[in-house]
Amino acid sequence: MLANVNRATPYLFLAPAVLVMAVALLYPIGYMIWASFLDWNPSQRIGEAEFVGLRNYIYLLGDAAFRESFWVTIRFAAIVVTVEMVLGVGLALLLDRKLRGMTVLRTIFILPMMIAPIVVGLMWRYMYHPTVGTLNRMLESVGLPSAPWLSDGTWAFASIVIADIWQWTPFIFILALAALQSLPQSAMEAARIDGASGWQLIWHVKLPLMLPVLIVTALLRLIDAFKVLEVILVLTNGGPGLSTEIVALRIARTAQEFQDLGTAAAMSNLLLILLLVLTILMFGYTRLTERRAARLAAAREAEIT
């Protein structure tokens, strides 16, 4: 009896936290799910809105503009996260050494991350300006034709990708650097004695040991990239055409301009589902590889005995 009480104790202590979490997390999500089944405009209270079942979802699946922005979002997230991971981890590997001035350099590298996104957007909009912008002036000064940074669909997409990479590579850089510096030093020395060159050390020892941190970092970045809004809002507001209209922007516009809260909620839910699937896939994958390794080891051990 007493043992049972003891076992229940941790749960008792956790209960208040779980309750707060449930209310703070599940309530808005539940609210959003409920809203996605309604035909609801902002002038109505939620109770007055008409229940329309799956109509919002069906409408979205058939909506070419939404599919386009879904596709833009996926492309955007995939490209920025890949490039940022490569750059961030690469920089961390490069700057993980004890040289004078390294601390200053590292601090400079993480500055972009600390700037408010709206400001980043304004700053880049200025740099991308067709006539007085820094970038075009630079191009002209070396005799190259100026580029339609924000006025051409393809260029505009590239422009928002560049701005995002500029702002978020430091995030990956810091986490990768922290991971690197917590790696066991003596294992690295052992690898050098075992004959590993710089590249082999990175490939066979450093990266595999950093992998758990890198996976979580990539996941965090991915989730964030799917929700990015302010910078793009300021830079292109989704244009030209739909070339840079990511889902988050479309959600905001659906709610504000089209006054259709139900469809906006349905879009948010689709985005949420996508993120959930991605997260589950990624954790599932690591779980799976671990389990497979364990099974293999067990099988081999059984074979021996």
Partner 1 sequence: MPEIVLDGVEKRYGRTQVLPPLDLTLEDGEFTVLVGPSGCGKSTTLRLLAGLETLSGGEITFDGRPISKLEPKARDVAMVFQDYALYPHMNVAKNMSFALRLSRVPKDEIDRRVAAAAEMLGIDHLLDRKPAALSGGQRQRVAMGRALVRDAGVFLFDEPLSNLDAKLRARMRTELAEMRNSIDKNMIYVTHDQVEAMTLGDRIVVMNAGRIQQQGTPEDLFERPVNKFVAGFIGAPTMNFLPARAEGDRLVGEGFDLPHPPGLPVPQGAVEIGIRPSAITVDHGAPLELRVVVAEYLGAQSVLVTRCGPHEVLAEVESATRAKPGETVRFAVDPAEIMIFDPETGTRLVPDGEG
Closest distance to partner 1 from the beta carbon of 297 (Å): 4
- Binding string, 94-123, against partner 1, x = CB under 8 A? ------------------------------
Only one of the segments 113-121, 150-158, 185-193, 249-257 lies at the binding site for partner 1 (rule: CB under 8 A); that segment is 185-193
Residue with tokens 């990768």: 176
Identify whether 240 is preceded by a cis peptide bond (ω within 30 of 0).
yes
- Give all strands (DSSP E) within the chain, no chain letters: 38-39, 50-51
Sort 290 into a burial class: Cβ within 10 Å, 0-12 / 13-18 / 19+.
Answer: exposed
Write out the binding residues for partner 1, residues 58-97 only, by CB under 8 A. Answer: none
Any contact of residue 291 with partner 1 (CB under 8 A)?
Answer: no
Which CB atom, from 14 or from 211, has the smaller least distance to partner 1? 211
Q: Which residue, among 161, 100, 95, has the nearest Cα to 128 in the 3D structure? A: 161
Beta carbon nearer to partner 1, 51 or 203:
203
CB of 87 to partner 1, least distance (A): 24
Torsion angle (degrees, nearest 10) of CA 226, 230, 231, 234: 140
Task: Give the contacts of 294 (CB within 8 A, at least 6 positions apart).
Answer: none
**Tokens 């880049």 found at:** 124
CA separation for the pair 129, 126 (Å, rounded): 5
Q: Which stretch binds partner 1 (CB under 8 A): 21-29, 258-266, 280-288, 296-304?
A: 296-304
Select the residue interacting with partner 1 from 196, 213, 229, 278 (CB under 8 A): 196
Is residue 288 part of the contact set for partner 1 (CB under 8 A)? no
Which two three-digit tokens encode residue 185?
């030093």
Contact 264, 251 (CB under 8 A): yes
Least distance (Å) from partner 1 to the CB of residue 301?
7
In the bound state with partner 1, the residue whose beta carbon lies nearer, of 48 and 290, is 290
Candidates 120-128, 153-161, 168-176, 194-202; binding stretch for partner 1 (CB under 8 A): 194-202
DSSP-derived secondary structure for 172-231: HHHHHHHHHHTS-HHHHHHHHHTT--HHHHIIIIIHHHHHHHHHHHHHHHHHHHHH--HH
Per-residue binding string, partner 1, 239-278, x by CB under 8 A, is ----------------------------------------
Of the candidates 26, 144, 288, 296, which one interacts with partner 1 according to CB under 8 A?
Answer: 296
- Can you give the binding site for partner 1, defined by CB under 8 A? 184, 186-187, 189-197, 200, 204-205, 208-209, 211, 296-297, 300-301, 304
